[in-house]
Structure 1
Amino acid sequence: MTGSKILASGHYVPKDIVTNDELAEVVDTSDEWIVAHTGIKSRRVSLRGENTSDLATKAAEIALKRAGVVAEEVGFIIVTTFTPDGLAPSTAALVQRNLGAKNAWGFDLSTACAGFVFGLSTADKFMKTGSYKYGLVISAEVNSKMMDFSDRTSTVFFGDGAGAVLLGLGEEGQLVGEEMHTIGDEKVVHSGRIAPLTSLSADNYPKIDAFAQEGRSVFNEVTTKIPAHIKDFLAKQKLTLDDVDYFLLHQANLRMIENVADTLRQPMDKFVTNVEEYGNASSAGIAMAFDQLNSAVDLTKKKVLLTGFGAGFTYGSLLLSF
């Protein structure tokens, strides 16, 4: 059956590296605390005026170059982000302009840190219509612009970056299984909320809130739900955990990933991670990890499980078979 195939991938991160010690000069924290609780040693931060669309454009340019495809051949662009340049125009529209992809339409998709999984699933449906030769899925975040740098419970985790994949059609699709879930909850994690008016006033203007999370609740929710979700999903695919060659989980926190691996009784060398050097890049984390894996390993005849989870609470898995 004809389906979508990943032809190339790419990722881009800002040049500025912020170490834990440097962050501790701004936030009440320490390198020892951050490493012990999160495993994060540094993160990339956009300090040179690069916005989400800029990071997304550069990641997409890398993927296009590697595939030998020109932007004019791309049929659609899906950008997953919850730190867009703005509400309108979409970040995808800005990327389309930047790339010169004049024949592509695009839109943004927001499922927070689960974005790449949901974006890839959505793009697969468009590719299967047979109407498009190529499609881009880009996950990009500038989390730093949404942080309250007096809140150490959130600020220490996050970094900025972007990852992209170029999809084409293959005789056999590589996306062979998926399962998605949403549990509406605005308390555990929220960002960019805009309150409605309570009165008419000349000084009314939109005000958004900074990113905030209940860290312990997030950790407990993930380490409880995600291992059970993964086992149940694989069972529905008539597969065992041992059948999966690589696990790519949302790069939220190294300790969280280690906990999931331990619960699943799978070795950590099957879990691709970049959170140590990039921090939690929300939806971009899995996309960047996939590019790192794709660049380092021959994935022929390999099975890769992508599992994203984020604010909402939204989570899901995609199984890729190469």
Structure 2
Amino acid sequence: MTVQRDLVVIGASAGGVEALRQVVRSLSPDFPAAVLVVMHLAPGAPTALPQILSRAGPLRAVPATHAGPLTKGVIHVAPPDHHLLVDEGALMLSHGPTENGHRPAINATFRSAAVAAGSRAIGVILSGALHDGAVGLDAVLERGGLAMVQDPADALYPGMPESALARVHTEHVYPADVLGKVLDRLVRAPAGAGPAEPPSPALLLEDRIARDGVRRGAVAEELAAAASGYSCPDCQGALLELGQQTGEYRCRLGHAWSAEALLTARDAELERALWTALRSLDEKATLADRMQRDATGRGLAGLTGRYENTARECGAAAETLRRFLLSLSQEPEANP
């Protein structure tokens, strides 16, 4: 028995608004599938994305609501600080653990679509940085769905499309303005019977984590996971390396990280630590200088020299660290 591909999940991040506008502009008014859109948003930040997408094309775009209907011909947009999931033909909003520091996370929505719709799902990756969406797109393919990726050469930020293509093979790689037209054709073509096997235990567990969090020890017990030696940037707990997904990590609370996202988080963590060190050196130098003046006024020659040396050493160290930190924010010179 054949089925139609009636669930489209689209993930985007940096540079993704314009790509999304180009995709939805090409969709027909009678588009016969529901569309879920996930874009990385800061928690609590207002978003005009539903209004932007409604104006860009013929389909109505609305903020996704918990337990709301999954409606064909409607674009459901993930709200800030919630994963957008599918639950028995309805939408589900979850405050589950972040993935790669994001909530909503593209991987969470794609995995949910893979579990719920199987071969009826189409996953689409647009412009964005880093890796979010690659693992989820792999899950869509694993369950018999289709994968589509914006051509990295067409993306303002090619990181997400490149990461997706490094992980999955798909013939559907197009510029954003072409991708929408092809998508409109694909949802009208029979999808085939799809895989007979149910979702893997690993996929079901990760989908459950996004919905409900993770019970104590579940990651270690139910996934082939080993201690990685790294800590989680979100909670500082130990990260486990998932056995079936090289370079993918989860902590016991369920926070998920790719190796690339973890490296980027370490960059931010290091910079925060260096600024803290600079502040401490500045304060120590200022305090030592004040104590040196006080000792001089009281005629305590031995203490005067000690405090003077401390102030000089801290000042020199602070200046070196200050120059390094300022160099991090300088724009690289253009290649000749």
**TM-score, scaled relative to structure 1:** 0.29
More relative contact order, 1 or 2 (CA 8 Å, 6+ apart): 1
Higher-Rg member (1/2): 2
Taking structure 2 as the reference length, the TM-score comes to 0.28
Higher helix share: 2
Q: Name whichever structure is richer in strand by fraction.
A: 1
